[in-house]
C-alpha cells in the first residue's frame, strides 16, 4: 500500500493566524514543529494500517517547512514547489492519499486563514465552488486515488463532507473567526490523527471510500477581487473574460483545467491600488 500524505499548514493543530505560517512570522518555528507533529501522527497511522511506502509532500508556500530530520524515517519527503501540482506531487504514483493541515476555501465564515491558493480569488470547477481540498481531491481522483482522511478545523470538515462524505475528517481546532481558534493540545491531536488515519486506510481497503471525480471537459471559473487581475488572467489562450472580475476556461481534462487555473494565478498580480 503506497500512501501519499499531502500537508498544508493553515489547518495544523494550534495554528491560529499568519504569524505561524509565514517564514518571517513570530511563531513560524513553532508552526513548523506543530506541522511535523500532525504529519508524523498520520505516518504512524499509515504504518499501523499496513502502508509499505509513505510519501509526504510539504505543500505549504514554497514547500520548505517540514524538516526531514524531524520526520518519521519510514517516510520520504518531497520539498519545494516547482511543479504545477506541487501540493500533491507524486499523487499519480500512490494508491491512497491523506490531506493533513488543510483549510477552508476563501469566503468561509469562522475558518482559520481561509483562502483558495491565494486570498484574492474564488474558484469554481464545473459549477461547484472549490477550495484546495476539492481541487486536489479531483486531481487524485483522476488517477483513481481516493483521499481517505482530511485534517483541519471544523469549517474544513464541513466543506469536505459536501463532496466526500465517506472520507474521514479529523477536527483539530475550532475557528473563532479567521485569525483565532480553540485548538486541541498537540498530543491529543496526535492521538486523534493517528487513530483516524489507521481507520480511514482500513476503510479504504474495505472499499468504503471512493475517489472524488468530475465530468470532462472541465469548466474552470475564477473570480478575482480586482478587475486588473482578470485582465491579466484573460491573456491565457482560450480563456474568456465574462465580466469585469471573472475569467472562464474550458479544458478537456481536470489536469489541464487545474494547469489553466494555476497559470491564471501566475498571470494575475494584484496592483498596489
Q: CA 101, CA 171: separation in Å to the nearest integer?
A: 10
| DSSP conformation class of 263 | H
Closest CA to 83 of 137, 32, 139: 139
Whether residue 146 has pLDDT greater than 80: yes
Q: How far apart are the first and last CA of the chain?
A: 51
Whether residue 81 has pLDDT greater than 90: no
Q: CA 174, CA 154: separation in Å to the nearest integer?
A: 5
Whether residue 184 has pLDDT greater than 80: yes
| DSSP conformation class of 74 | T
Q: CA 11, CA 20: separation in Å to the nearest integer?
A: 11
Please, which residues have CB within 8 angstroms of residue 229's CB and are 6 or more apart in sequence?
120, 121, 245, 268, 269, 270
Q: CA 17, CA 100: separation in Å to the nearest integer?
A: 17
Percent of the chain with pLDDT over 90: 97
For 122-136, letters b (16+ CB in 10 Å) and e give: bbebbeebbbbbbbb
Do 49 and 71 meet the contact criterion of CB atoms below 8 Å apart?
no
pLDDT score of 271? 82
Please, which residues have CB within 8 angstroms of residue 273's CB and are 6 or more apart in sequence?
none
Residue whose C-alpha cell is 491558493:
117
Work out the average pLDDT over 98-110: 98
Work out the average pLDDT over 193-204: 98
Q: Output the nine-digit C-alpha cell for 143.
A: 488517477
Whether residue 68 has pLDDT greater than 80: yes
Whether residue 256 has pLDDT greater than 90: yes
Q: Output the nine-digit C-alpha cell for 223.
A: 473570480
Tally the C-alpha atoms within 13 A of residue 118's C-alpha that lie toward its C-beta.
16
Q: CA 70, CA 35: separation in Å to the nearest integer?
A: 10
Closest CA to 152 of 167, 136, 170: 170
Domains of the chain: 2-108+132-205 (3.40.50.10780), 218-267 (3.30.1360.130)
Whether residue 240 has pLDDT greater than 80: yes
What residue spans of the chain are helical by DSSP H?
A: 28-48, 132-142, 154-163, 186-205, 227-233, 254-267
Q: CA 81, CA 269: separation in Å to the nearest integer?
A: 19
Question: From the centroid of its chain, how far is CA 273?
Answer: 30
Amino acid at each position: 500500500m503506497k500512501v501519499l500524505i499531502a500537508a498544508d499548514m493553515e489547518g495544523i493543530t494550534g495554528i491560529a493566524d499568519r504569524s505561524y505560517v509565514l517564514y518571517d512570522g513570530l511563531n513560524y518555528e513553532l508552526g513548523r514543529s506543530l506541522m511535523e507533529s500532525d504529519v508524523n501522527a498520520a505516518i504512524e497511522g499509515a504504518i499501523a494500517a499496513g502502508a509499505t511506502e509513505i510519501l509526504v509532500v510539504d505543500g505549504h508556500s514554497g514547500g520548505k517547512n517540514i524538516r526531514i530530520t524531524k520526520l518519521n524515517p519510514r517516510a520520504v519527503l518531497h520539498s519545494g514547489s516547482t511543479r504545477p501540482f506541487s501540493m500533491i506531487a507524486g499523487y499519480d504514483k500512490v494508491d491512497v492519499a491523506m490531506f493533513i493541515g488543510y483549510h477552508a476555501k476563501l469566503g468561509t465564515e469562522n475558518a482559520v486563514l481561509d483562502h483558495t491558493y491565494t486570498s484574492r480569488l474564488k474558484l469554481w470547477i464545473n459549477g461547484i465552488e472549490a477550495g484546495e481540498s476539492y481541487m486536489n481531491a479531483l486531481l487524485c481522483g483522476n488517477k483513481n486515488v481516493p483521499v481517505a482522511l482530511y485534517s483541519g478545523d471544523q469549517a474544513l470538515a464541513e466543506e469536505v463532507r459536501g463532496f466526500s462524505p465517506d472520507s474521514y475528517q479529523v477536527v483539530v481546532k475550532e475557528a473563532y473567526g479567521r485569525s483565532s481558534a480553540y485548538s486541541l493540545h498537540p498530543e491529543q491531536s496526535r492521538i486523534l490523527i493517528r487513530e483516524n488515519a489507521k481507520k480511514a486506510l482500513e476503510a479504504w481497503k474495505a472499499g468504503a471510500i471512493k475517489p472524488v471525480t468530475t465530468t470532462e471537459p472541465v469548466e474552470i471559473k475564477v473570480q478575482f477581487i480586482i478587475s486588473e487581475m482578470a485582465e491579466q488572467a484573460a491573456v491565457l489562450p482560450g480563456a474568456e473574460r465574462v465580466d469585469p472580475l471573472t475569467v472562464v476556461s474550458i479544458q478537456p481534462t481536470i489536469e489541464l483545467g487545474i494547469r489553466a487555473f494555476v497559470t491564471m494565478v501566475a498571470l494575475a498580480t494584484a496592483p498596489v491600488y
